[in-house]
Amino acid sequence: MATMTPGRGLIAWRRNRSLIGGLLPAASLLSLFFVAPAIWAIYTSFTNRALVGLDARHPRHVGWANYERLLHSPAFKTVLINSLVFVVGSAVIGQFLLGLALALLLDHGEHRGYRATPFVYGSVLLAWVNPTVIAGFLWVAMFDFYYGSLNKTLELFGLSGVSWLGKAPMLSLIIVNTWRGAAFVMIIFQGALRTIPSQIYEAARMDGASAWQRFWDHTLPNLRQVAAVVLLSVTISTFGAFLLILTLTNGGPGTKTEVIALYAYHAAFQSRQIGYGSAIAAVMLGLNLIFAAIYLRVSSPKI
């Protein structure tokens, strides 16, 4: 830890001067592209600014009008529900459970020395590492009603094809997002599993615990802390999901898969109402801040 005594005021300032200097370049860039936009969004949300037309030239201050509109908009309610379903389905259930299962399976395979393990690992990672729009495109093809791989496989078994993106868009999105994000959860859990000393398991064996008991009594409890953090983490990142949905369904059919980020995008760029769009963005940022605060409280990261 610090070998210098923490000081107050001027002395501390002098000592830390060069360090603060080191932070400045990054801080300015971040301020420009994170802080400034956030402030800009909040400011703009109180205007009726638009991309074209009269309101583009001379945006007027409209107070809380945008927010009121938001609150009373039935579309927004749908959007919130969609976002909730998407986050719970793909992050809380999908990515989390699948990632956990994968971590356990691969950890087990590693211990047994199965040589296929790295390949399985690699394929899971592949889904995570590739760019979002690629993932979207790939699954558009997979989901294609007439010629997609999924329906073609179903046909092989004598079943009729499903209109994935048409009739079950949310489910399809959840599948794809789970496919994408499971790797992250898997990696974090794998890290946690590796920190459990093997001697604990040996001690449990000596005490008479069966394989199932060892898993239940010793593996799971030790994963609990990490689990909470991971869960929050995937929730936060899935909350802002945009590109994947844009690529696959663009919020459709209709507004069935319109999540909050898409709602903001459409308002700003399709309806050209930046003021309204900024209000939505501001709400997003606010909700995100709350999530972030919870995350920080739960994870108590090493300062």
For the segment 232-261, give every residue that binds other proteins (CB under 8 A). 236-237, 239-243, 247, 261
Q: Which of 88, 161, 171, 222 binds other proteins (CB under 8 A)?
A: 222
Minimum gap (Å) between residue 203 Cβ and other proteins = 4
Residue 281 in the binding site for other proteins (CB under 8 A)? yes
Give the dihedral sign, CA 128/131/137/138. negative
Neighbouring-strand partners of residue 47 = 61
Q: Is 23 in the site for other proteins (CB under 8 A)?
A: yes
Backbone angles phi, psi at 295, to 5 degrees: -60, -45
Q: Binding of other proteins at residue 99 (CB under 8 A)? A: no
Site string for other proteins, 110-139 (x = CB under 8 A): --xxx-xx-xx-xxxxxx-xxxxxxx-xxx
* Burial per residue of 144-175, b for 16 or more beta-carbon CB atoms within 10 angstroms, e otherwise: beeebebbeeeeeeeeebbebbeeebbebbbb
Minimum Å gap between C-beta 230 and other proteins is 8
Considering the complex, what minimum distance in angstroms separates the CB of residue 127 from other proteins? 5
Amino acid at site 116: A
Give yes or no for residue 205 binding other proteins (CB under 8 A): yes
Alpha carbon of residue 268 to chain centroid: 22
Which of 215, 217, 231, 256 binds other proteins (CB under 8 A)? It is 217
**Tokens 């605060």 belong to which residue?**
293
Q: How many residues lie near other proteins (CB under 8 A)?
A: 125
Q: How far from chain centre, in Å, is Cα 67?
A: 25
- CB 88 → other proteins: shortest distance, Å? 17
